[in-house]
Amino acid sequence: MRTAVVLFTRDLRVRDNPALHDTCASAERVVPLFVVDPSIRSSPNRQRFLAQCLADLRESLRARGGDLVVRQGDPVREAVRVARQVGASGIGLAADHSAYAAARQRRLAEACEAERLALTLFDGVTIVPPGALKPTGGGDHYRVFTPYWRAWQDARRRKVLGAPGRIALPDKLAAGRLPSASVKGGSPDVVAGGESAARERLTAWRRRANEYAKGHDDLAGDRTSRLSPYLHFGCVSPLDVESEVDSPEFVRQLCWRDFYHQVLAGFPELPRRAYRRGVTEDWRDDPAALDAWKEGRTGVSIVDAGMRQLVAEGFMHNRARLITASYLTKHLWVDWREGAAWFAHWLLDADIADNWGNWQWVAGTGNNPRPNQRFNPERQATRFDPDGRYRERYLGSRPESGRQKSGRQKSGRPGSG
Ligand code: FAD
């Protein structure tokens, strides 16, 4: 192939990027392309993070003699337009699995066929691609995590790929302007996006990975990797992370990520509809309680601390996500969709598979084999923030032990069925 386009979406890296690697190996000239898609509504936190990712990617590509070509509009139309302009014979793309991504892929396949362009899809968003593992009892995806985890550990891995050496861009192609990273609003204490930042974090965190098994639930200790925003935007590949980190407990978390991606591929309505069959949903409409939850003023200190961490950092510790989500859906009995939307607005790592999959898991409408499980916030606080340091960090004062107000309780649960 003489000239080809690589359409970046959420694989914003040069290292271990199969679409970029293989296209560079097979084509003489390559156009690395990103299309800013106005139909994807994004929060200030994620807009800024994305802009930083793209700036970093452009720098890496320029260092290799190439560039990041940026366009605005419909990714399908723009990709085909650029391909036509440079006389490309094909387009490479990382396969993705949300309903929107799947529809985009289908449209791109049709457009490529009409234009006689070869479209090649590459794995890389997950470690094991959705659909690669089939449950023995039938069905197109695993509904329960533990059997998936067993099969996943033995699944074949592709090789981790290096960054391409030199990249030759076709002549006379305008690079286009990057979106601005000066975005108004959002969280004050967010991390910066980009592959360079991701690699720094991975390198620093690898040294602490041996603390993960014991420390990952310690709210104040903050001993998780905080790689999730980088994994979401593909600043680092999950396979690369798996290969670099020697902690089975941590690798299990990466498997959860793959698990929800294959759930989403099998059930694209995950963000909208209860996953669990036959579930009766009967949520309370309580705007005042929902607002208090969002603003971190429920009076339950561990819930309020988590919600304030979310707004301050565009991130929340996993244990706090479980507690706050359980509080909304199983104490206030407010719809998981409301909570998931609020999380999605603030989280840098907001992900269709992981956010909505986890919300449904907590709400009892999803993949949790124990749908009635709920987290008692007082007990969780005593266990995972025993000296109140996490709460002090986000509430400004240390809670008096044993004096946290309970949330409203109600018998029966909407998520039963
Ligand atoms: P680590 O503990 O260091 O784990 C490493 C990686 O494994 C994470 O970066 C993430 O990619 C993956 N991972 C860990 N736990 C999970 C999990 N339960 N499900 C799926 N993947 C996991 N994660 C997101 O990436 N995006 C979301 O939008 C998201 N929303 C969530 C909503 C709720 C209600 C809950 C309970 C969890 C949610 N999670 C989400 C999962 C988890 O909380 C975050 O991945 C984790 O807190 C990120 O921090 P970390 O990178 O330090 O994780």
**pLDDT value at residue 89:** 97
Q: For ligand 1, atom 3, name the residue with the nearest CA.
A: 225
Q: How many residues does the chain have?
A: 417
Q: What is the pTM of this model?
A: 0.96
Fold of 3-124: Rossmann fold (3.40.50)
Gap from CA of 317 to ligand 1 centroid (Å) = 8
Task: Please report the pLDDT score of residue 398 as a whole number.
Answer: 80
By most ligand atoms within 8 Å of CB, the mutation choice from 202, 329, 336, 358 for ligand 1 is 358
Other Cβ atoms closer than 10 A to 409: 9
Considering only the top CATH level, what class is 126-159+196-266? mainly alpha
C-alpha 257 to ligand 1 mean position (Å): 7
Query: Which residue's CA is minimally distant from atom 50 of ligand 1?
Result: 226
Query: Residue 268 in contact with residue 86, Cβ under 8 Å?
Result: no
Nearest CA to ligand 1 atom 45: 228
Centre of ligand 1 from the C-alpha of residue 92, in Å: 28
Q: What is the pLDDT of residues 152-193, one digit of tens each?
A: 999 999 999 999 999 999 998 999 999 999 999 999 999 999
By most ligand atoms within 8 Å of CB, the mutation choice from 201, 219, 349 for ligand 1 is: 349
CA-proximal residue: ligand 1, atom 47 (nearest)? 318
Instruction: Determine the atom of ligand 1 nearest the C-alpha atom of 231.
Output: 11
Report whether 6 contacts 33 (CB < 8 A): yes
Q: First vs last Cα of the chain: how many Å apart? A: 55
Q: Report the relative pairing of strands 90-94 and 3-8 from DSSP bridges.
A: parallel
From atom 31 of ligand 1, which residue's Cα is the shortest distance away?
355
Take atom 27 of ligand 1 and give the residue whose Cα is closest: 355
Could you give the residue ranges of the DSSP H alpha helices within 116-227? 145-154, 195-206, 212-215
Rounded to whole angstroms, the Cα distance separating 154 from 135 reads 14
- CATH 1.10.579.10 boundaries in the chain: 287-395
Q: Which two tokens stand for residue 222?
A: 């903050």
Q: What is the 129 CA–ligand 1 centroid distance (Å)?
A: 18
| Beta carbons of 309 and 385 less than 8 angstroms apart | no
In the chain, list all ranges with CATH 3.40.50.620: 3-124
Rounded distance from Cα 78 to ligand 1 centre (Å): 33
Alpha carbon of 218 to those of 221, 307, 386: distances in Å? 5, 17, 9
User: What would the DSSP string read from start to end of 297-357?
Assistant: -SS-HHHHHHHHHHHHHS---HHHHHHHHHHHHHTS---HHHHHHHHHHH-TT--IIIIIH
Nearest atom, ligand 1, residue 228 CA = 9
Pocket, ligand 1, Cβ cutoff 6 A = 216, 224-228, 231-232, 253-254, 256-257, 260, 318, 321-322, 325, 343, 347, 349-351, 354-355, 358-359, 362
Q: Phi first, then psi: give them for residue 120, nearest 5 degrees.
A: -120, 125
Instruction: State the pLDDT at residue 41.
Output: 84
Q: Which fold has domain 287-395?
A: DNA Cyclobutane Dipyrimidine Photolyase, subunit A; domain 3 (1.10.579)
Nearest CA to ligand 1 atom 13: 253
pLDDT along the chain (417 residues), means of 10: 94 98 97 96 95 98 98 98 97 96 97 97 97 93 97 97 97 95 95 98 94 96 97 98 96 98 98 95 97 98 98 98 98 98 98 98 95 95 97 89 44 42
Mutate to test the pocket of ligand 1, among 149, 228, 310 (most ligand atoms within 8 A of CB): 228
Question: How far is the centre of ligand 1, averaged over its atoms, from the C-alpha of 234 (Å)?
Answer: 14
Ligand 1 center from residue 259 Cα (angstroms): 12
Residue ranges matching CATH 1.25.40.80 in the chain? 126-159+196-266
- The answer to whether the CB of 311 falls within 8 A of the CB of 346 is yes
Give per-residue pLDDT as tens, 112-162. 999 999 999 999 999 999 999 999 988 999 999 999 999 999 999 999 999
Q: What is the pLDDT of residues 342-367, one digit of tens each?
A: 999 999 999 999 999 999 999 999 99
